[in-house]
Amino acid sequence: MQLFHSTDMDGVTLINPCADARHEIVMRLDGPDAAAADHPDVSLVHDASGWSLSVFPSGIVTFENLDTWDDQPRFMTGISRKKALKMWQQLACGDISGLQTFPWQH
């Protein structure tokens, strides 16, 4: 079993959130309270590898390794909520190499 965790716009962390919980977290980016949230993004971290995907209300997704100080964050723009959730699923399953094939910008 892969160990991962999410952090929502209020800074609340869930360990191994189910698909429904991940969906709810990402969809809150479009909620009426999004502008007043403590954090402007939501994230999912694959604990064993340190890789993180953060999703912003604007459709920007960042991909970076939190355990490697010299790792340059990558990003993409125009990512739909559906695509972001698919990417989160890949990360939750530990498919780092699959995520690295996306057309990330530096």
Tens digit of pLDDT for each residue in 1-36? 789 999 999 999 999 999 999 999 999 999 988 888
- pTM listed for this prediction: 0.93
pLDDT in tens, 55-86: 999 999 999 998 887 678 899 999 999 999 99
pLDDT for the residue numbered 98: 97
Smallest CA-to-CA distance from 48 within 23, 26, 70, 65 is with 65
CA distance 45 to 92: 8
% of the chain residues with pLDDT over 70? 99
pLDDT for the residue numbered 70: 66
Smallest CA-to-CA distance from 47 within 13, 82, 98, 84 is with 13
